[in-house]
Amino acid sequence: MNTLKPIKIIENEVHNIKISNLYLFKGSNKGYIINSMNGIGMLISSEFYSEIENGAFSDELLSKMLSRGLIEISGHNDLTEDETEFKTSFFLIDMTKRCNMNCIYCLRNPYAENANISFEMMDKIVDKIIEYCHINNVDMIDIQPWGGETFLEKEKIFYIRKKLDQDAPDIKASISVETNGILLNDELAEQIKKYNIKVGVSIDGTGDIHDQQRRDLLNNPTFEKVVNGIECLHKHGINNIGTISVITSESISHIDDIIDFFISRLPYVSFKLNHMHSPGNRKMNYLAITDDKCEEMIDRIMNCILLYEKKGHIIKDGNVICGLNNLIYRKDNNICHSHGCMGGKKMIIFDQKGDIYPCELLDYPDIKLGNVNERSDIGTMIRNALDQNSFFLKKHDIKCSDCPWNYYCQGGCTSAVIYENGVNNGSISVDSCRINKALYERLVWLLTEKTELTLKIIQKEKEGVI
Ligand code: SF4
Ligand code: SF4
């Protein structure tokens, strides 16, 4: 797959206009420019490309760049952002550590005892969320009950909806559940519909691949049950079904089969192919996607996008869509990929004891933000943690200062850094760095060379199909 290499625009000042941190990409008849400080990008004509390359900025170009936010008038519109500003709107609740499956890459204990959240704790957590929303004038939130297998605690999931409707009708809450799909049946599908729950199902692709990676507690295959579960949701008129597939070093060479499976068997789902990180569990490290496998994975996805376009299909991978939305609209809607790791700022997680953490992947005591039994509201807990809690230590490497993707990446996933180093020591995640570079370089190529296809992929999302 082709990529475009950027040219950095050396700092310049034209008519009092400050030009800095800009990266320019040249396609065959279009260009793309991005400001690495604020993530704002713009597709440009070849004429504008030449002007920028030659440092001969016309008034028309300067005015377009200024109104877009790519450049600033010296001393007026500072493009840097206040990093202490945050609005938490995504709340995960760890409902159970139990699971009815035993996937090979899972770090949870499916046999854990006393692992379910209590109704009493659910009340406290939802009250704490409502208190936060009212203090901070937040009226739209996402709540994600989480597990283990979350639907093992289905009555408590529905209870969240009932309690919110009763105690805080002024707050618009979207509730979504990630499930392994085993428990989905007609009765559950009807309840999911009744309580307006969004569902994401974990399925690793074709039967062979899925059953190698995701088996039940008795080591039975689960693929057919999961597919039946997804089809059951569809039959009951549940829209916006998402799926998540973990791509491992063993399944990477089958990405085209996996995509083919979704197109032919589950064409109505929006899928997301996530690479497996180094898990901090040495036994499983052989499954992680590392080194040049990162490029290989993105290339395989991109090649499928191009191949299927010829066959009349638009490939709807969630990570590609998120990246394109960043490059075109700078949508700040992804917790992990729109402005670096927003764990602990945009998102927090509550565990069964009411402890509050910045990310569901870590429960180390030294990164805890607080507990629901404390009198402080959530906003105060987070503000107090911002300069004391090592989770929030800014990550940086010398190469980030010269990287077009700095705004979106910010050194990558904090949990990955902690898995890689044992602590957030301010270094970048090597894993995130490789994936982000591989993805964005290829997405800029797609944007400049296949603009119509790119816009179709984005347009699909606007229509609510993705
Ligand atoms: S970690 Fe890598 S991709 Fe991320 S900003 Fe730094 S250099 Fe860029
Ligand atoms: S630590 Fe990683 S997974 Fe957690 S919120 Fe941050 S980027 Fe996302």
- Cα–ligand 1 centroid distance for 445 (angstroms): 18
Q: What is the pLDDT of residues 63-83, one digit of tens each?
A: 999 899 898 877 665 656 666
Ligand 1 centre and the CA of 272: distance in Å?
22
pLDDT value at position 466?
A: 34
- The reply to whether ligand 2 has any atom less than 6 angstroms from the CB of 436 is no
State if residue 438 touches ligand 1 by the CB under 6 angstroms criterion: no
Q: How does pLDDT run across 391-413, given as a tens digit for each residue?
A: 999 999 999 999 999 999 999 99
Asked if 123 contacts 163 with a C-beta cutoff of 8 angstroms, the reply is yes
Query: What is the model's pLDDT at position 291?
Result: 80
Q: Is the dihedral of CA 129, 83, 384, 359 positive or negative?
A: positive
Tell me, in angstroms, the distance from the centre of ligand 1 to residue 403's CA.
Answer: 6
Does residue 414's CB lie within 6 angstroms of at least one atom of ligand 2?
yes
Question: Is this model's pTM higher than 0.85 or not?
Answer: yes
- Higher-pLDDT residue of 172 and 20 is 172
Amino acid, res. 228: N
Question: 301, 324, 343: which is closest to 92 by C-alpha?
Answer: 343
Q: Which residues pair with 186 in a beta bridge?
A: none
Which tens digits make up the pLDDT trace of 123-149? 999 999 999 999 999 999 999 999 899
With a cut of 90, say whether residue 272 has pLDDT above it.
yes
Using the predicted structure, report yes or no on whether residue 163 has a pLDDT greater than 70. Answer: yes
Is the pLDDT score of 14 beyond 80?
no
Contact 453, 305 (CB under 8 A): yes
* Residue minimizing CA distance to atom 5 of ligand 2: 343
Asked whether 104 lines ligand 1 (CB < 6 A), one says no
Give, in order, the Cα–Cα distances in Å from 218 to each of 102, 148, 202.
Answer: 9, 16, 19
- Among 146, 246, 278, 413, the mutation site with the greatest number of ligand 2 atoms within 8 A of its Cβ is 413
* Binding site membership of 412 for ligand 1 (Cβ less than 6 Å): yes
**What is the 3 state secondary structure string of the chain?**
CCCCCCEEECCEEECCEEECCEEEEECCCEEEEEECCCCCEEEEEHHHHHHHHHCCCCHHHHHHHHHHCCCEECCCCCCCCCCCCCCCCEEEEEEECCCCECCCCCCCCCCCCCCECCHHHHHHHHHHHHHHHHHCCCCEEEEEEEECCHHHHHHHHHHHHHHHHHHCCCCEEEEEEEECCCCCCHHHHHHHHHCCEEEEEECCCCHHHHHHHCEECCCCECHHHHHHHHHHHHHCCCCCCEEEEEECCCCHHHHHHHHHHHHHHCCCCEEEEEECCCCCCHHHHHHCCCCCHHHHHHHHHHHHHHHHHHCCCCCCEHHHHHHHHHHHHCCCCCCCCCCCCCECCCEEEECCCCEEECCCCCCCHHHCCEECCCCCCHHHHHHHHHCCCHHHCCCCCHHHHHCCCHHHHCCCCHHHHHHHHCCCCCCCCHHHHHHHHHHHHHHHHHHHHCHHHHHHHHHHHHCCCC
Nearest CA to ligand 1 atom 2: 433
Query: Quick check: CB of 412 below 6 Å from ligand 2?
Result: no
Condensed to tens digits (0 to 9), the pLDDT of residues 324-361 reads 999 999 877 789 998 999 999 999 999 999 999 999 99
Q: Is the pLDDT of residue 380 over 90?
A: yes
Establish whether residue 92 lines the binding site of ligand 2, counting it when its CB lies within 6 angstroms of any ligand atom: no
CA–centroid distance, 142 to ligand 1, in Å, is 29
Q: Would the CB of 415 count as within 6 Å of ligand 2?
A: yes
| Ligand with an atom nearest the CA of residue 336 | 2
**234 alpha-carbon distance from chain centroid:** 24
Q: Say whether pLDDT at 231 is over 90.
A: yes
- Residue 82: left (phi > 0), alpha (psi -120 to 50), or beta? beta
Confirm or reject: Cβ of 340 under 6 Å from ligand 1.
no
Q: Does the beta carbon of 434 lie inside 6 Å of ligand 1? A: no
For the chain, how big is the Rg over CA atoms in Å?
23
36 lines ligand 1 (CB under 6 A): no
Ligand nearest to the CA of 432: 1
Given a contact cutoff of 8 angstroms between Cβ atoms, the answer to whether 142 and 89 are in contact is: yes
Nearest to 206 by CA among 231, 224, 233, 179: 224
